[in-house]
Amino acid sequence: MKSSTSSWSLSVNHLTMKFGSSKALDDISVEFNSGEIHGVVGHNGAGKSTLLQILSGALSPTNGELVMGDQKLEFDEPSKALEAGIACVYQELSLPMNLPVYQCLFLGHEITSGIFTNKKKMKDESKRLCALVGLDIDVNVILENLSVAQRQLLEIAAALGRNTKVLLLDEPTTALEPNQVEILFEIIRKLAKEQNLIVLLVDHKLDEILSVCNKVTALADGKVILSRKTSEITLEQLTEAVIGTARKHSEVSDKKSQQVEQKITNGNYFEAKNIEAEGLHDISFTVGQGEILGIYGLNGSGRSRLLRLLYGDLKIELGQLIIDGKVMRFNNPQDAFNSGIAYLSEERKRDGFVPLMNSGENVTLPILKLFKRLRIILNHQSRKVFADNQINNLSVRGNLKGPISRLSGGNQQKVLFAKVLAQKPKVVLLDEPTKGIDIGAKREIYEIIKQAATKDNVTVLVVSSEEEEILTLADNVLIMKSGKVIGEKINSTGLSIIDLRRFSLVSSGAK
C-alpha cells in the first residue's frame, strides 16, 4: 500500500439509522481526516456500533450520506466498503486459528499465478504487512500458536493488505496487557501518519482515547454530544459527555431496600473469593438466596466472561467459588449444572435451543434422565405433560408443536426460561436476558425472573447492557471494568442511570 501526503476526508452527513420506531443514530454529522486517529466514545447503546456497521457496509442508513473526498459512497454489503478502502477490525478476532499467517492475511483474495495460488508472493507480501504492524514472526506459523496481542496486530495487517484508506478499530485493546496497549498505539500512530490513513478508534477507555487520538467524538442516545480535538478537552469533560443525560430510574420504590432485606435468607449463599482467571482479576462478591444481583459494565468489562467462569466454561486459576459454605471446583459446565447452576446465554439462537425441535423438546433436553424408565426407555407422555405445564406457566404463545425457530423472539426466550426453571436450579446466570425482544415480552420476562427469586428463593445473577433493565430487576448492582469488580455491590434503591454510567467509567468505583 502506497502512502500519500495529500489530505482528504471521510464525511458522515446527517446520518440517521432507525430500527422500528427507535433511532440508533439521530442526524449525526462528523468529519474524519486523513493522517489522524479519531476516537469515538459513548456508553452502551450510544450508537458507536451502529456507526461502525454503516461505515463498514454491514448496515445501510435510513437517511444521510457518506462522502469520501468528493465521492458519495453507498454500500449494500461489506465487500463494497472493502472495495472503497474501508476495513473494520472487530473486537472479536476473526482470523481462523488453524491456518498459517500467510494464508490468513490473504483469505478470500489470494495472490495467484494463472489458476494456481502463488505462495511465494503471498509469503513475501505477508512479511511486508507484518513489518508494517511491527510483527517479527514466521509467516508459516499457525495462528493458534500466537498470542492475543500478535493476533490483534495480524487482524490490522490483514486489513492493510486490502489497500485500506480507512481503518476502523472496535475496542482493540480489550484483551491486551498495558505494555501491549502502548505498543499497539505506537503502531497505529505510525500507520496514520506514514500511510496517511484515517483511523477511527472505538474505545470505552477514555484515558486511552485522549492519549492516542487527535480528535474525539462522543455519542449519547444516537446524537453527537461533543466533537473536538483531544488537545482541547479534559478527561472530566469527556466523561461528562459520555455519561450524557438520563432520567432517574422511576420504578424503584422507597420500600425496595426493606423488601430486599426481608427476602434474602442467606446473604452469603453464593460467594466468589479473590478469583483470578483469563481476563478476570481479583473477583470477589457475595450474593444471597433470593437476591437478584445485577452485573453492569461497558462492553469488554468482563461481565459475560464472569458468567461463563461461574458456569464452568472457563477455568479458575486462583481463588475460590463457594456455594452454601462449600468450596466448588468446576472442570466443565456439566459440573456446574450438577451443582444446581443454570445458565442462559445472550446468544439464544446459537447456544440456547435446537432450532428444529419443538418448544417442549427443548425445555426437557437437559433433564431427559427424569423421564426414562429403567434408565433406558424414554417416557414421551410424561415428558410432554411436564413440558406443557412448564410452558403454560410462562404463557408462551405460538405454534408450540412446530420448530421453536418459528416462534417470536420473546416467546423463544420464555421457552428458554421454562427450560432453565425446569432444572430446579439454586443459582441462575442470565446474560442479556431480554436481548432483541419487544417491550411487552420484556415485562413478562422481568416478572418471571422476579418470581423465581421471590417465590423459589433462587439466587439470580443478571448481566445487562441496558441500565433501565438493571435498575428494574436488581436488588444490588456490581460494577465491572477491565475484568475487575469495582468497589462493593451497591443497593439499587435510588440509583440512577447516570450513577451507573459514572461508576463504570471511573476506576475508583462506587462507595
Say if pTM beats, i.e. exceeds, 0.85.
no
Q: Provide the residue type at 155 as one letter.
A: E
E strand spans, 349-409: 372-373, 377-378
Per the document, the length of the chain is 511
Distances (CA, A) of 54 to 62, 75, 263, 432: 10, 8, 47, 24
Give residue for cell 462492553. Answer: 299
Cα 416 from Cα 396, distance rounded (Å): 10
Instruction: Answer whether CATH 3.40.50.300 is correct for domain 9-243.
Output: yes
Measured in degrees and rounded to the nearest 5, phi and psi for residue 508 equal -70, -20
- What pLDDT digit, counting tens, does each position of 52-94 carry? 999 999 999 999 999 998 899 999 899 999 999 999 998 778 8
The domain spans of the chain are 9-243, 262-340+425-511, 350-423
CA torsion through residues 318, 324, 325, 330, sign: negative
Q: Name the CATH topology of 262-340+425-511.
A: Rossmann fold (3.40.50)
With CA atoms as reference, report the closest residue to 84 among 99, 101, 94, 69: 69
Q: Are 314 and 402 in contact (CB under 8 A)?
A: no
Ranges of H-type helices in 72-215: 78-83, 101-105, 119-132, 148-160, 178-194, 206-212
For the chain (511 residues), the mean pLDDT of every run of 10, in chain order, is 71 92 91 96 84 93 93 91 92 87 92 92 94 90 89 90 92 76 89 93 88 94 93 90 60 46 66 93 94 90 92 94 94 94 87 90 91 81 92 88 87 92 95 80 89 94 91 94 91 88 66 37
Distances (CA, A) of 444 to 208, 411, 432: 41, 10, 15
Q: 9-243 and 262-340+425-511 share one CATH topology? A: yes
